[in-house]
Amino acid sequence: MKVISVIIAKYCLWMGNYGYNLKCPQANIRKGDKMSKRIILGVNISARTQAVPNVQTVLTQFGCNIRTRLGLHEATDGSCAPGGLLILDTYGDEATVGKLASALEAIEGVEVRKMEFERQN
């Protein structure tokens, strides 16, 4: 079920980028909406195996507010590092992106940092 909701959220966001007026859960995405800032969230996960199920739940809940998601962790032959880093390029109003960041920070072992860039329209 989680995979389906992620696919629906990504499709919803993609179609919204082409001007379709879709009702996305957790997002107020309408034709012509633009963020005044581009907000990138860096999410450091110190205990990846314990935190990931809760992190994935939050990412699914805010799927329409995540334009790009990049996951990084150290992996070598026979072992995988216990920590990881996510980079999220967000979409939507600043209040909703703030709720996403707060929901992630509420998870034990997760730290969130924010970068903001002014949009050049």
pLDDT tens per residue across all 121 residues of the chain: 444 554 555 555 555 554 445 555 554 444 445 557 899 999 999 987 889 899 999 999 999 999 999 998 877 777 778 888 999 999 999 999 999 999 999 999 999 999 999 876 5
CATH number at residue 18: 3.30.70.1150
Total count of domains within the chain: 1
Tokens of 95: 């209040």
The phi, psi pair for 70, rounded to 5°, reads -125, 125
Burial 60-74 (b: 16+ CB within 10 A, else e): bbbbbbbbebeeeee
95 - beta bridge partners? none
**In which domain, by residue range, is 36 found?**
2-118
**Does the pTM of the predicted model rise above 0.85?**
no
